[in-house]
Amino acid sequence: MSAPRLVDERIATNGEHHLLERCYHHGPDTLRVRVVRDLHSAPRSSAVTERRTTCHSWTVLADLPAQHWYDATSACTLATTASVLGRVAVTVLEQALREHTSAPVFGER
């Protein structure tokens, strides 16, 4: 299967959280990578890769525990959100692809 193709990226902050969200097409699948860094709490931060289901909801493929990346992003400001959280997003996407390479794709029976 070919490499995931980035189709959309969104970066946002509200003073409490930094968010990086990327959507990819990967074959017939749509994958979403969301990295949310709570500026005050590692337990409320998350980095997940999700796959869009046929019911148009999202199912989690991989979750990167915050303790693996939270401290490395402590100096993250809005100006560096894309590059710093982008590295986290790439890690959790790679984890999902590694763990779910044999998963059925939509349309298969």
DSSP string, 56-67: S-EEEEEE--GG
Distance linking the first and last C-alpha atoms of the chain: 18
Instruction: Examine residue 25 and state whether it is found in any structural domain, yes or no.
Output: yes
Least Cα distance to 22 among 68, 72, 90, 71 occurs for 90
**What is the mean pLDDT of the segment spanning 59-85?**
76
By residue count, the chain amounts to 109
pLDDT value at position 77? 60
**What is the mean pLDDT of the segment spanning 72-93?**
74
Q: Residue 107 — pLDDT band, cuts 50, 70, 90?
A: very low
Q: Total structural domains in the chain? A: 1
pLDDT value at position 28? 86
pLDDT tens digits for range 55-68 = 889 999 999 888 88
Percent of the chain with pLDDT over 90: 28
- Do 33 and 24 meet the contact criterion of CB atoms below 8 Å apart? yes
Instruction: Examine residue 13 and state whether it is found in any structural domain, yes or no.
Output: yes
pTM: 0.76
Least Cα distance to 89 among 21, 8, 10 occurs for 21
Instruction: Examine residue 58 and state whether it is found in any structural domain, yes or no.
Output: yes
Instruction: Examine residue 47 and state whether it is found in any structural domain, yes or no.
Output: yes
- Do 51 and 28 meet the contact criterion of CB atoms below 8 Å apart? no
pLDDT value at position 81? 64
Instruction: Examine residue 105 and state whether it is found in any structural domain, yes or no.
Output: no
